[in-house]
Structure 1
Amino acid sequence: MLSSIKVRDYMTRHLVTFRAETDLFCAIHRLLEHRISGAPVVNEQGELIGLLSEGDCLNGILSGAYYEATGGTVGAYMTRAVETVSPETDIIEVSQRFLRGHRRRFPVVEEGRLVGQISRSDVLRAVKSIAQHDDNWELRSH
């Protein structure tokens, strides 16, 4: 049953994103403002080129402090090797990938473009939805 549920059905579509040329302190402000721990970095075509996490931001701040140069851009500190999923990936596979890789979220990419993000809580929401649906069916059948 869960293998028929696709990432597309539960992913978040409206994301905070950054461009590589975004000022690092501006990005930090947006992460704090939106209370998120990271965000995808896209180019002009909406293609995923990286991910900026709180850890990347801390690295940027510490590097700046070490070299006595504050600031920089998102592109200088973002993680470039990003593991992604397709919108057609099933929830079971994503769950397994979450457990294997200790990730909290995956960007969702379709035909090279960022189309959303799936998180652990999105997967739990999918499971809860199915469980509630099954409970309602069982109640009606008795």
Structure 2
Amino acid sequence: MYKFLELTASGYMTRNVRTVKRDLDMLALSEMFERDDFNSYPVEDDGQVVGIVTKFDILKCFAFTPNQMLPRYHELMSRKIGDVMTPEFIYVSPDTRLTRVLQIMVEHRIRSIIVLDSAQRLVGIIAREDVIKALKATAGE
């Protein structure tokens, strides 16, 4: 278990990350979520990460409000990712220790964290499953 204390995000992150653009509509996004079985996608614009969009962002579109008790599915699903994404997102670097990644996930109740290099370029994403895999791999030590 002590070995876990030394591990960093770079050893367990997914490097080949699928991203989306701001102008993609919610219907296409929901189809991507179904196909890929991901919980979130980084939103990229000109090679820079400008936000993150999650399955929860789709659900938030359908929340009842006093002036809209029955959301219209097709109208909401034609909205663009740029309208619903979270522009303020938490990220780590490849050399961030997994202990810190775990702490961030628990504190903020998030499923995955974007990994950016020193030039703020996307180099990976690390998910809960990745941290669990690292914990399991070091359990016998």
TM-score (norm 1): 0.81
Q: Contact conserved, 2:112 with 2:127, CA < 8 A, in 1?
A: yes
Equivalence for 2:23: 21
Partner SS state of residue 56, structure 2: helix
Equivalence for 2:135: 127
Structure 2 residue identity aligned to 1:107? I
- Unaligned segments of structure 1, at least 5 residues: 135-142
Out of 83, 90, 110, the position equivalent to 1:103 is: 110
Partner SS state of residue 19, structure 1: coil
Identical pairs, percent? 25
The reply to whether residue 73 of structure 1 matches residue 71 of structure 2 is: no
1:67-103 deviation digits (Å, cap 9, x = unpaired): x844121111111110111111001111112221211
Equivalence for 1:55: 56
Partner SS state of residue 95, structure 2: coil
Structure 2 residue identity aligned to 1:15? V
Please tell me whether Structure 1 or Structure 2 has the larger radius of gyration of its CA atoms: 1
Q: Which runs of at least 4 in structure 1 moved beyond 2 Å after TM superposition?
A: 58-66
Greater helix share, structure number: 1
CA distance in 1, matches of 2:136, 2:10: 16
The CA deviation at 1:61 is 5.2
